Structure 1
């Protein structure tokens, strides 16, 4: 029995010695702590970060402020155009930032179609104009040689009147004429204030439907609602 324990202990000690010397191979559990840390951290790939950088707050890009247009005015429109214009501008939803102004518009040249002789003749000519998409006109009902003629616009300069007449000719209006005539018409315009970039873009898309009307800056102009 004693001989058995002697040889048993001798074999155990020999295995222990071989284990410590690495003769039995690299087992996962036998890795010494320094070697384990070396394999775990890959120190050659570590990059040292200065404390000032590590503790610095994250930088945020500056917020882009929306550009504001102070005041724009578009006009001048005939009173009969009010429902159509206001329906278009309603899509901007400007509330009290939109104001309507009455304008006295003096002009010295008129583009017109001569008298049609009667109301029935004027109505027939109006229907023809609408069929070719001409909608900015006024039937003259005052007593005189122009009664039952059709005004297609009054202008401050002859050059402006000629340009309008040329545009009408391209649409198929060939009976219109230009005559000097100083008149004062009651028209109106709209002022649109504090427009954002998005609202300005929407307005630009709308105003192409009113090519014969002016757009002007009104930031220094006093205004009042009507």
Structure 2
């Protein structure tokens, strides 16, 4: 009898352990309990059978960047060039190609400089005032010709005079004033003369005679006296220009200059 009671107690303990899951297997939990134990039950979506289930994409975690070193050399793919550590980044491919094209392109030859034709020169010596004016005017009218005038005067006399008074009335007043001072050898140049309204006091063949005349007049109280060298003025004219142009121009003028001669140009 005692044995049966003990046996029943053992059976009850085993049943209780099995029902509580102490032995690893228990009764299936109820539906509310299963819903409670599920993770994120609000994400549950019922399918009607027409939609395909969403594809599950495995999450890929980004690998941490690892600095290349001796222990961890960088991975080099086929055809890839790896620059050494600390080097500057390589130039883009298009820039490298542009540099290569520039280096390999043949250098352009400098443009051939067209040298100007050398200038020839002709000189005329002993040209008078009027002819010199005509010659210079014609040369300056020719494109490409350059001129140089060197006048030379051979002094033949010295002119004592009082410079221009500006008008006929002023010149007449000056003449009357000089006559009142005892000056007799004088006259006033008219408006059509080379020196209009100038009062001439004498023409002398030497500088000493002209200076003596001025001293005599100054003793009489005459002021503003001037002495000017007079003589024959001749011109030495040099003309430079292209050889062919100058040759024809000089040949034309050689027969038109009276008393002038051709001469060598000065350096």
- TM-score where L is the length of structure 1: 0.32
Name the structure, 1 or 2, with higher relative contact order (CA <8 Å, separation 6+).
Answer: 1
Give the number of the structure whose alpha-carbon radius of gyration is greater. 2
More helix by proportion, 1 or 2? 1
TM-score (norm 2): 0.27
